[in-house]
Chain A
Amino acid sequence: MLEIRDFHVKFNSRSREAVGGISFTIQDGEILGLVGESGSGKSVTAMSIAGLLPRRQCTYSGDILLDGQDLLHADRSVLRTLHGRRIGVVFQEPMSAMNPLLTVGEQVGEVLRVHTSLSKAERREKVLSAMADVELPEPEVLYGRYPHELSGGQLQRAMIAAAIIIEPSLLLLDEPTTALDVTIQAQILALLRRLNREKGISQLFISHNLAVVRKLCSRVAVMQRGLLVECGDTDDIFFHPSHPYTKNLIAAIPVREHRMQAAAGPFADAKEAGRAVSSPEAGRGAAPDSAVSSSEAGRGAALDSVIEVSSPSSAAGIPAANGTLSKGGE
């Protein structure tokens, strides 16, 4: 449904291309993961798909096609008809992505106000059911609240409700769980999986954390410095990374995470478990090797940005995701 061909972006203020010629596709009903260290061009890619690229500040080329329709060069007026109806966007920081002066209900229903001729009461009905759909507690109460009165997790659910309220075909999620703590993160991932299954909404899920992507996506694309270094089946890439950068990303995931994935992860059938048990060795092997031999400064940053320390799963019953997030621990 979405096809990106040889896509380049260069900001006028920078000497290096932010995105240096990438190509990938998202199939109907698929969740594609996009991983890479920060600054690798993930957001620029997502913003370009969303038609939010600041066009005057950069030069760009290539094709971004949504069901054959060009998004990259489309007119603003054309993009407006797609925004919210065909494409929904969810950003990293729900607090700053919401207008602090409007109620949550108004913002969840904004797409309806723009794209439909529903009456206020009808919109309210739809908003309440969308809010219930993303498992927000007491929608009637939260409807009239302002963003600063909700928690980060609730806000992110509201942002998702706003993005899917008229069921777009593609949902772009730019690090939607990065700002949330690990328990909430797992719940949001479960919600996204359910929305994908029940409504068939295709998603581009961006994260700098390969372990998170693995819980949600069957396919993953790995970006480094504006280039796509690897793209394919998540498990293939996870267990047989071909690019040193990908190995690095995997090595940075703590070993315990692998074991827990093997024991109770979402792909915990016999074959997967068999692979996962063998993976710690690969992971351990890769870590010192690449850390020592790495001469590129970027790799150190990559390690930093993906280290996630999980404690063994406890009462909550959410496998492999209910630890606490902390950087540089272990």
Chain B
Amino acid sequence: MKDACLYILKRLFLLLATMILVSFLTFLAFRLVSGDPVRTMLGTEATAEQVEALRQELGLSDPFLLRYVHWLKGFFSRDLGVSYSYRQPVWDLISGKLTLSLLLSLLSFALIVAISIPAAIASYRFTGPISGWPRTILNQLGMAVPPFFTGILFSWVFGITLRLFTPGDFPGFQTDALASFIHLFFAACCLAIPRIAMTIRMMRSSLISEMNKTYVLTAISRGNDRKTVLRRHVLKNALVPVITFLGQTLAELVGAGIVVEQVLGLPGLGRFLVTSITHRDYPVVQAIVVILAFWVVLSSLLADLISQAIDPRLRTAALAKGGTA
């Protein structure tokens, strides 16, 4: 127990270290690719004095490292700096959009887990290891359809024709919670469909390979019925690789959501990130990059901890590494 706590602490510390490294690298990268944000803001007409004054105001004339340390300190108190373009605190600008994007990711992740795991089990129970072509085609179709295409399709079918939501006009949860949820739900479906197909395929093949292992024969030879063999023995074993895969899926959902947000007109992080990059609004871009990186690292940490909770071999390996490091 104490070992486990220590291990989790160590992983959290590593997470923090990763975040600091990521933020430093993005900070450095923006300095190197530069293009002077002050010049961009003021236009070519500005005088040298005006430029210098704005540089002072934005703290751009400080040495690089000092600026980074300053930014880092601010980050921990949710002071992400001030947007160059909007002259407003970055946190105020992005917090609402961030919430919406996270909601989108979490909703589509919930759909993926809630649909693909039971579907894979059902598909295995009814057809066994034999693969029929209708299912294969359906599965590959699901994987092949890109979310932006489903987005366009859904806008047309559910939005314009059936009028379940208004594409491009997201009401906001304060204004109309139900309409907002429906809008979000269709966006989440677009994101989830190819990943549901992938997860079903993965879970199914994991089930098939576990079913061929000797411990299944042992379980049968002890008098378990098929259902118990599946539920008590095979399911957890089959889930272990799928959990790692789901961790990666959760990590990439926020990034993948950007396109869907654009297509369905959701005011999430996506569109804002794109405009901020074109305007060289570095404080905004920097904050979003660090938050996305945090999301990625957190997802993989969660996946690791869950698979270790299920599989004692992974636990042993993790603790052994933790002991020597």
A99 adjacent to B215 (CB under 8 Å):
yes
A63–B220 alpha-carbon span in the complex (Å): 21
Picked from B224, B225, B226, B237, the residue with its CB within 8 Å of the CB of A100 is B237
By the criterion of a CB under 8 Å from any partner CB, how many residues of chain B are at the interface? 22
A93 within 8 A of partner (CB): yes
B87 within 8 A of partner (CB): no
CB contacts under 8 Å to A, within B163-216, are 213-215
* Nearest-CB residue, chain B, relative to A107: B218
B221 adjacent to A100 (CB under 8 Å):
no
B223 adjacent to A101 (CB under 8 Å):
no
B233 adjacent to A52 (CB under 8 Å):
no
A176 within 8 A of partner (CB): no
| Chain B residues closer than 8 Å to A101, beta-carbon distance | 236-237, 310-312
Interface flags, A86-114, vs B, CB<8A=1, else 0: 01110101001111111000010011001
| Chain A residues closer than 8 Å to B228, beta-carbon distance | 114
A89–B216 alpha-carbon span in the complex (Å): 12
B136 within 8 A of partner (CB): no
B20: shortest Cβ distance to chain A, in Å?
36
A80–B312 alpha-carbon span in the complex (Å): 29
A82–B222 alpha-carbon span in the complex (Å): 9
A4: shortest Cβ distance to chain B, in Å?
18
B279 within 8 A of partner (CB): no
A115 within 8 A of partner (CB): yes
| Chain A residues closer than 8 Å to B50, beta-carbon distance | none
A146 within 8 A of partner (CB): yes
Given contacts A101-B310, A101-B312, A148-B313, contact A89 B221 (CB under 8 A): yes
B219 adjacent to A99 (CB under 8 Å):
yes
A162–B223 alpha-carbon span in the complex (Å): 12
Among B222, B225, B310, B313, the most chain A Cβ lie within 10 Å of the Cβ of B222
B293: shortest Cβ distance to chain A, in Å?
33
A225: shortest Cβ distance to chain B, in Å?
24
A98 adjacent to B223 (CB under 8 Å):
no
A64 within 8 A of partner (CB): no
A81 within 8 A of partner (CB): yes
A67: shortest Cβ distance to chain B, in Å?
18
A8 within 8 A of partner (CB): no
B217 within 8 A of partner (CB): yes
Given contacts A80-B225, A146-B313, contact A98 B215 (CB under 8 A): yes
A84 within 8 A of partner (CB): yes
B223 adjacent to A100 (CB under 8 Å):
no
| Chain B residues closer than 8 Å to A149, beta-carbon distance | 312, 316
B313 adjacent to A98 (CB under 8 Å):
no
A84–B220 alpha-carbon span in the complex (Å): 9
A208 within 8 A of partner (CB): no
CB contacts under 8 Å to A, within B224-281, are 224-226, 228, 233, 236-237
A35 within 8 A of partner (CB): no
CB contacts under 8 Å to A, within B301-325, are 310-313, 316
B312 adjacent to A148 (CB under 8 Å):
yes
B312 adjacent to A110 (CB under 8 Å):
no
| Chain B residues closer than 8 Å to A81, beta-carbon distance | 223
A50 within 8 A of partner (CB): yes
Picked from B217, B221, B236, the residue with its CB within 8 Å of the CB of A88 is B221
* Nearest-CB residue, chain B, relative to A80: B223
B224 adjacent to A114 (CB under 8 Å):
yes
A294: shortest Cβ distance to chain B, in Å?
34
A102–B312 alpha-carbon span in the complex (Å): 9
Given contacts A52-B217, A91-B214, A91-B217, contact A100 B222 (CB under 8 A): no
B223 adjacent to A84 (CB under 8 Å):
yes
A323–B227 alpha-carbon span in the complex (Å): 45
A115–B228 alpha-carbon span in the complex (Å): 13
A243–B313 alpha-carbon span in the complex (Å): 48
Among B214, B225, B228, B313, the most chain A Cβ lie within 10 Å of the Cβ of B214
A83 within 8 A of partner (CB): yes
| Chain B residues closer than 8 Å to A114, beta-carbon distance | 222-224, 228
| Chain B residues closer than 8 Å to A84, beta-carbon distance | 221-223
Among B217, B228, B237, B310, the most chain A Cβ lie within 10 Å of the Cβ of B217
| Chain A residues closer than 8 Å to B220, beta-carbon distance | 52, 83
Among B213, B221, B223, B311, the most chain A Cβ lie within 10 Å of the Cβ of B221
A98–B312 alpha-carbon span in the complex (Å): 13
A82–B220 alpha-carbon span in the complex (Å): 11
Picked from A88, A96, A115, A146, the residue with its CB within 8 Å of the CB of B312 is A146
A89–B215 alpha-carbon span in the complex (Å): 11
A231–B235 alpha-carbon span in the complex (Å): 43
A215 within 8 A of partner (CB): no
A210: shortest Cβ distance to chain B, in Å?
25
Picked from B217, B222, B225, the residue with its CB within 8 Å of the CB of A110 is B222
Picked from B214, B233, B236, the residue with its CB within 8 Å of the CB of A96 is B214
A75: shortest Cβ distance to chain B, in Å?
12
B171: shortest Cβ distance to chain A, in Å?
47
A148–B218 alpha-carbon span in the complex (Å): 17
A85: shortest Cβ distance to chain B, in Å?
7
* Nearest-CB residue, chain A, relative to B240: A101
> What are 22 A-B residue pairs whose CB atoms fall within 8 Å in the complex?
A47-B217, A50-B221, A80-B223, A81-B223, A82-B223, A83-B220, A83-B221, A84-B221, A84-B222, A91-B218, A97-B214, A97-B218, A98-B215, A98-B218, A100-B237, A100-B312, A101-B237, A101-B312, A110-B222, A111-B223, A114-B224, A148-B312
Q: What residues make up the interface of B, taking CB atoms closer than 8 Å to A?
A: 213-215, 217-226, 228, 233, 236-237, 310-313, 316
Closest 3 CB pairs of A and B: A83-B223, A146-B312, A89-B221
Extra 8 A-B pairs, beta carbons < 8 Å, given A96-B213, A101-B310, A146-B316: A76-B225, A87-B221, A98-B218, A99-B219, A100-B312, A102-B233, A114-B224, A149-B312
